[in-house]
Structure 1
Amino acid sequence: MDTHLLLAFVVASALLSLAPGPDLLFVVANGVAGGRRAGVLAALGMSTGLAIHTAAAAFGLGALIRAAPQALTVVRLAGAVFLLYLAVMTWRNSRAALEPTAPPARRSLRRTYLMATLTNLANPKVILFYLAFVPQFVGTGPAAWPT
């Protein structure tokens, strides 16, 4: 792999990773509401989502979507449904929090991890990163890495 291409990829990836998005907000919110353990598990859930995205990209999800654009529609709809679910749950929990007698709802650590993974999988920024951005830096031929 050309070192200039690798350097460009590392710099661009770092800049994209530093931009806050739903993943970072989810980790921070869970860390504040549930403590250090919830924050760490939320971060681990996000990392699990990234590993799933990486595996999907490595096994050709991008090629599948190019060959069958309907697959991208399915991914978009699944992400939209999940984001709507998160919005409804947040709205319902915020209404319950306004009642003076209701104790604050705490999410189990297992549920925090699962929700973090699903939030990352539904994050459009991550999906676009793996489907549109990463392939620009993938080389073919004798100079491709790994050899």
Structure 2
Amino acid sequence: MITLQFLVTSLIVVLIPGTGVVFTVSTGLAQGRRASVYASLGCTAGIVPHLLASMLGLSAVMHTSALAFQALKFAGVAYLFYLAWATWRDRGAFAVDRDAAAPLPMRSLVTRAALLNTLNPKLTIFFLAFLPQFVAVDAASPLAQMLVLSGVFMAMTFAVFVVYGLLADAFRGVVLESPRVQDWLRRGFAGCFAGLGANLAVSESR
């Protein structure tokens, strides 16, 4: 059931930079390792609705219903553009002090990160096509296998995102010491969020 092919494929999928990676890295740079772990937790939690939708067959409905797909897609687009705008405006986002930094509450970070992945309909379509490939044809309980595979995928997602966040935190000192780097990062991450939003806006359900 849990094959080497599944693990390798999952790892490649998780490693590919996307909205969750951008958010986790920006959080690690701005607020440190503890905050990046919360961001990783939120991004992982945001996968749950898509996995449930795949297991319940809701993704098939979304795949055939243009209205359902478009509604969720543009909600995600709007949220990504909001993050781009908020990041661009917040000139103090990366200008933090090691001793006096006041990171966002855990609940806010987790909620914001979870929304990023929840509002991405492409994930639902992805899991509809991805997970069933690794369920044994003669499985006594396909749903149980889907749950196990989903759990492994989520654990891998969390672990990889934590590593991304810790790597970002390792470079945090460079950011703290250079206002120019802070400004570049602010604009860069704002541009990334805007670009991801634009990419989602022009994407199709199939």
Q: Which of the five TM-score ranges fits, normalised by the shorter chain?
A: 0.7 to 0.9
Deviations 1:53-78 (A, max 9, x none): 21122122212113423211111111
Question: Which structure 2 residue ranges, 5 or more long, are not aligned?
Answer: 94-100, 143-206
**TM-score (normalised: structure 1):** 0.73
Partner of 1:13: 10
Change (3 A) 1:140 1:121: same
Residue identity matched to 1:63 = A
Question: Which structure 1 residue ranges, 5 or more long, are not aligned?
Answer: 98-103
Map 1:1-147 → 2, pairs under 5 A? 6-94=3-91, 106-123=103-120, 126-135=123-132, 137=133, 143-144=138-139, 146=141
Once residues 139 and 41 of structure 1 are traced to their aligned partners in structure 2, the CA distance between those partners, rounded to angstroms, is 31
Once residues 78 and 145 of structure 1 are traced to their aligned partners in structure 2, the CA distance between those partners, rounded to angstroms, is 38
Once residues 123 and 72 of structure 1 are traced to their aligned partners in structure 2, the CA distance between those partners, rounded to angstroms, is 10
**TM-score (normalised: structure 2):** 0.55
State percent identity of aligned pairs.
38
Aligned residues: 137
Tell whether the 8 Å contact from 1:23 to 1:123 is kept in structure 2 after alignment. Answer: no
Give SS of 1:20's match.
coil
Partner of 1:100: none
